[in-house]
Amino acid sequence: MDKLLNRKVVFLFWVSSIPIRIQVPQEKLEDGDLIISQNQTNNNDVVVWSSNSSDPTVVNPVATLLDTGNLIITNRTEDGDLIWQSFDYPTDTLLPSMKLGLNKQTGREWKLTSWKKPKDPSPGESVLQMGNSGLHELYFIIDNKKYFRSGSWNGEWFVGNPIMKTNSRFLNLFVDNQTQTFFTFSMANANSYGRISWYQNSSLFRTRTGFKQDDASDWIYFSNTFETCDLYNHCGPNGLCNSQNLTYCECFVGFHPKSTVDWSRQNFTLGCERDEVLNCTNDQGFLKVGYVKIPESTNSTSFDKNMSITECEDRCFGNCSCIAYAPMYLESFKVPRGCIMWHGDLIDTIMQNKNDGLELYLRLPKYLIPKNSNGDTQTIIIATTVVGVVIILFLGILLVFIRRKRKKKIAKKGTSITKSMLEDWKDKVQLFDFYTLSSSTNNFSNDNVIGQGGFGIVYKGIMEDGQEIAVKRLERPSEQGLNDFMNEVVLIAKLQHRNLVQLLGCCMEKDERILVYEFMENASLDAFIFGEKRHLLNWPKLVEIIIGIARGLLYLHQDSRLRIIHRDLKPANILLDDMMNPKISDFGTARLFDAEQLEENTRRVIGTYGYMSPEYSNGGIFSIKSDVFSFGVLLLEIISGKKNRINYKYEEDLNLLELAWALCKEGQSLNLLDESLSNSCLVPQVLRFIQIGLLCVQDRADDRPTMSDVILMLSNDSSLIKDAKRPKFYNGSCDTSTFGQVYFTNNVVTLTQLEGR
């Protein structure tokens, strides 16, 4: 006990359920009951708190504070039966192995209750608890009203809280059986500590996740704040909340606003209703809405954890009251499993990306369902299958004939890629044939051009099965192009991260050098921060994009099996998928480092002016800190909507970095913020991000933070940020005598330093 008392108190993780103030406390353990009393002047003890665990049969009880933080009372017998434990009565903090849920046998509920004030542990008005029906989702309750719903458990995390899956330090567990239902967690690293706190600050309610290494003196905190779509049932019954929608709310297909007047006033409380009442007929089917946080499960009357998705559709179609169905879990995140069906209004549905949400199928009249929809009825599926088999057999024979003929032509013409090289590549990436890629892009038509990368033109392609792809074709087989091509494929093939573009394969037939990527629906970030689409992104979404880019860069620098320096990080190389998730692309200039390598020197400087660090552009020295510099420029561009390569009038002509520094020193940093973000931003967060950007663009590489430090500063509002040193900013002009050749492509300047002979 002395050792415990001598340790520095960092935080309180448990307090009694009744706030008490005691001048002279008295403690005793009697019949298994832990009692705290106060001695009065008449020597009478007044009980102010008790564990209420009195049992006359208890012999020699003992109270023990375990290393887990659990205060337990046990019977000092051979069996050591547990009499009482503090973990059964959580307050505002969840520690590893604590439960958040309910005991179905005793009716005991494990929930978190916020403190009334930061220094007042009296119970506040907000509660984090598990629902006692449906799929047992978590709810944030404020003044007895639902504020946020976690969504159902998909086997790894609650679908409405995808941040859970990105926190690799915590191992999440959800248990649902006949006796109890609860959520708990443990630490991935046994030498670390963690906690989840539920707290309120004025009108702000959030969870706060803490993490601490065994040898660290300070805790690292991550706050989970809520956006508009996170608010419970924001769009009303049968409404769909979509953060990509300017007004957030929309109705499902086949539905319309219940009150168009309220809807026009941004009041979505009444939600939506069907265009026509559904009758129980065969002229109906199911439309796949997309990947969503599925509706609240309390309005569903049936679910089965073991049913296949096909059986689920049959069951729902055979029940006239079933209006929608969805899988419950994702087995290894690939195969949907289980079945949940809704028989009433769809409440609190939110659009998500493919990696986070579950597929929802909505019952509609057939005329509202596209013929190629995955939700078509089985009648259509069977009919098309029969026809499809015949067509496939015919096409298969034709394809074999065409390929044999083409192979003969290729053999005659020759190729610069040897047979041994092709065999080696087959083990690493998927090889596409040129004919397939040419057909998918309409013979590489100019109408299919969607951009220009580091060494070639990018086309949109559509495969025979309907899959959309991005095809990057080397313009001419130069030595530099081939090296870049080989470099990019080898690197990307080994990289797997949600914030990196996915390489599907490549083609090396004849003299062709072609890369095939996943198709990004929203193209590149530069169109959204510099172009007419600027107003489509609010501040919370930009914060997600910023942190996503940072996580992708951290993966390249630290978390992947390889250490990779990108060397050309810029808005044009940040692609956005259909849910506006950022993905770093274009690895043609990237370099691979050894595990212990810190920097490298090159005479061949390749990159984009305005994003290259001083030591790289002037001396050819690059390291992970070179990418940090580029990220800092990118961060300031996102905040301001201004390009770094343009001079801006202030007291004199200043580029973006000089302007940010000048405004910061004058206490006017907020003037850097793009006006379109003023209504959606958090001012302290904006100022913090600007300061982080200035730290990243400091002149000396050693002064810049690492990407792990950057992510901590971006995600943790309480971490300290030191003052940035003033960099020796180079201005926006480009002296060709210093940098060599200057190539202008899509208004982006690409530099290549000439080597002396």
Catalytic residues: 568
- Return the closest-CA partner of residue 650 out of 668, 637, 632: 668
Output the CA angle 402-403-407, nearest 5 degrees.
120
439 and 448 Cβ atoms separated by less than 8 Å: no
- Return the closest-CA partner of residue 278 out of 379, 375, 377, 363: 363
* Structure letter (DSSP) for residue 552: H
As given in the structure block, the two tokens for residue 479 are: 């030595």
Coil/strand/helix, residue 480:
helix
* Structure letter (DSSP) for residue 274: E
617 and 605 Cβ atoms separated by less than 8 Å: yes
Please state, in angstroms and rounded to a whole number, the distance separating the CA atoms of residues 158 and 139: 11
Q: Is the dihedral of CA 143, 146, 149, 152 positive or negative?
A: positive
Q: How far apart are the first and last CA of the chain?
A: 75
- Lookup result for tokens 């001695």: 39
Q: What is the CA radius of gyration of the chain?
A: 30
- Return the closest-CA partner of residue 25 out of 12, 16, 38: 38
Output the CA angle 130-132-138, nearest 5 degrees.
20
Distance of CA 440 to the CA centre of its chain: 31
Number of neighbours of residue 514 by Cβ within 10 angstroms: 22
Please state, in angstroms and rounded to a whole number, the distance separating the CA atoms of residues 289 and 434: 35
Please state, in angstroms and rounded to a whole number, the distance separating the CA atoms of residues 410 and 416: 11
| Binding-site entries for ATP | 472
14 and 90 Cβ atoms separated by less than 8 Å: yes
As given in the structure block, the two tokens for residue 80 are: 């050591």
Phi/psi for 13 (5° steps) reads -110, -5
Number of neighbours of residue 311 by Cβ within 10 angstroms: 12
241 and 229 Cβ atoms separated by less than 8 Å: yes
Strands 468-474 and 456-462: antiparallel
Q: C-alpha distances in angstroms, 433 versus 291, 391, 505, 575, 628?
A: 32, 22, 10, 26, 38
Distance of CA 388 to the CA centre of its chain: 38
- Return the closest-CA partner of residue 92 out of 69, 119, 65, 112: 112
Phi/psi for 351 (5° steps) reads -70, 140
199 and 154 Cβ atoms separated by less than 8 Å: no
| Binding-site entries | 472
Please state, in angstroms and rounded to a whole number, the distance separating the CA atoms of residues 236 and 226: 18
Beta strand segments in 80-217, E: 82-85, 93-94, 100-103, 109-110, 112-117, 120-130, 138-142, 145-149, 170-176, 180-187, 192-201, 204-213
Distance of CA 178 to the CA centre of its chain: 33
As given in the structure block, the two tokens for residue 296 are: 């609240």
DSSP string, 584-648: E---TT-EEE-TT--EEE-S--EEETTTS-HHHHHH-EEEHHHHHHHHHHHHHHHHH---TTS-E
